[in-house]
Chain A
Amino acid sequence: MTIESEITRVVELFQLPFMQRALMGGVLTGLMGGLLGSFTILRQLSFFSDALGHSALLGISIGLLLGLDPSWVLLPFAVVFALVVTYFLERTRLWTDALLNIVYSSSLALGIILLSFRDEYRGGIGNLLFGDILAIRTADLIFSAVLLAVCTGFIGLTLRSQILMTLNEPMAIARGVNVSAQRTTFIVLLSLVVGISIKAIGVLLISAFVVIPACAARMVSRRFTHYIVISAGLGAISAVIGMLLSALFDLPSGPSIVAVQLGTFLLAALAPTARALAS
C-alpha cells in the first residue's frame, strides 16, 4: 500500500459526514478544554475536572435508570454535582485531593452499580469510559459551538478579573471583583464542557483535554494572554492531528488525540533543553 493511496483513503474518509462531525467535535472540545484548562490548572482544579468526568458516569446511570435520554440528565447533573462539590470543598477542613478522591471513586462505583440494573447497557460501558467521537450528532456540535461561544465570551469579557483572581483572590476582592460569582460561573462552565465532551472523549480521558494542552502551553508561554491562546490552540491542533492519525492507522480516536496531546506536552517540556543545546 503506497503513501498516496493511504492519503487518498484518509481524504475520502473525511468526506464522510460522520467523520466531518467527529473532526469538528474534536476541534470544539479541544478549544473549550484548552481555554478553560488554562485557568483550571493554575487554580489547581485539574483533579476537580477529573472528578467531574467520573461523576458523569453516575449522571448517565441515573438517566438510564429513570428511562430518560442520558444526554439530557448528564448536563444538569454535572452542574449540580460541581456546585455541591465546590460547596463541600469550601466548607470542610479536608484536603482537596482527598475529598475529590472520595467523590470520584464513589460516583464511579455507584454509576457502575446502577448500570448493572440495566442489562442492555452493559456493553455500552466501554463507550462511556473511552467515548465515541464518531457518534457525535449535529445537535451535539451545535451545543458545543454555543458553549464555546459562551466560554470565550465569559473569559474574554472578564479576562482581567480572571487573571487577577488567579494571581491572588484577596487582591481581586479588594479591587471589587465579585470572586464568588466569577468562581461559580467558571465551575458551571467547566462542568458543562466536561459533560458535553463525555460522549466524544469518555469519562476516563476527558480531564486530559483540560489539563495536557494547558500544561504544554504553560511550558512555552511567558505572557498570560499568550498562554490562554496557545492552550486553546494546542487543544484544537491536537484534535485535528489525533483524528488524522486515528484515520490513517485505524486507531481509536479519543486515545489518539490524547496521545498527540502528550506529544505536544513532551515537545514543550523539551523545548528549553533543545534551545540551550542549540545555543
Chain B
Amino acid sequence: MATHIQPIDLADAGIAGETAAPPPVRRRRRLGSGIEVVLLTVFAVVMLFPVIWMLETALKETRDIYAVPAKVFSFSPTLEHLKDVFSSGSPVFSGFKNSVIVSGASTLIATVLGVPAAYAYSRFKIPFKKDQLFFILSTRFMPPVVVVIPIFLMFRDLDLLGTLQGLILVYAAFNLPFTIWMMKGFIDEVPAEYEEAAMLDGYSRLEAFWRVTMPLLVPGIVATAVFALIFSWNEFVYAIFLITDPANRTAPPAIAGLIGGTTIDWGLVAASAMVFAIPVLVFAYLVRRHLVAGVTLGAVRR
C-alpha cells in the first residue's frame, strides 16, 4: 500500500526505498544532455559568427574595421557604408538592378515552360520518359566552367554576349531542370482522379488541368519559383564569363569586382554583401518547408 504514495523517482528505482540516489542511467543522461547543449552552442557560434562579423563590419566606421585587435563589441555604428551601396554612382547599385531583372525574368521563363512540362511528364505516357527526365537532370551536373565555353562561342555568334537577354536565357535553361523535377513531385501528389472526375463532367483535359489541378499547385509553384529565384540571384560563374561590360554586370560579379583594386574598402564590400544576402535569407525562410526537396533538385522529399 505504501508504495503508491511514494514519489515517482523512487518507485522507478526498483524496490522502493532501497536506493536513495537517483539511478545511474538517469544521471548519465542528464550529463550527456548538458554536453549536447554545449556542443550545439559551439556549433551555432561557429556557424553564425562570420555572418555577424560581416554585419558588424558593414556598420562599423572605417578605422574600426582595421582595428587590431579586432573590436567585437565596442564600436560606434554608422550607416555610411550602406549609403554608399545605394548611391547612384556605385557599381554595386546597378548590379542589384540588373540582378533583379535577370533573376526575375529567368525565373518567369523557367516556371512558364517548366510547369506544363512537369505536368506532361507526371500525367501522360511519353516514350523514353525516364531517360528524358534523367537527361534533363544531368544537364544540371555539368561543371559551369565547362558549359560556359560553347555558350560563350554561341553567344558571340548570335551577338548575345554581354547582354542581359543572353544571361536570362542561360539562367532559364539552368533553372528549367530543377523546375521540372520539383514540380513533377508536386503534381504527382495531386490525385489524377480529380481531373478525371472533371473530364467526366465534360471538361477537356486542358481545362481540367487549368481549372482543377492548377489551383492546387499554386503553393508548389511559388516554392519552386522562389528556389529558382535564389539560384539565379546567387549565380556567379556564368555571370562573370558572359558579361564583361561593367554596366551590364549583375550583383555577384559587381561585388566581387570591389576587391579587384589595390586598396579594398571592406566596409563597402561587407555592406554590399549584406544587402545582397538579406533578400535570399528572407526568401529561404519563406520556403523553409520545402528546403530539403529544393536543395536536392526534388530528388529527396519528406
Binding partners A and B: no
Interface residues of B (CB under 8 A from A): none
Interface residues of A (CB under 8 A from B): none
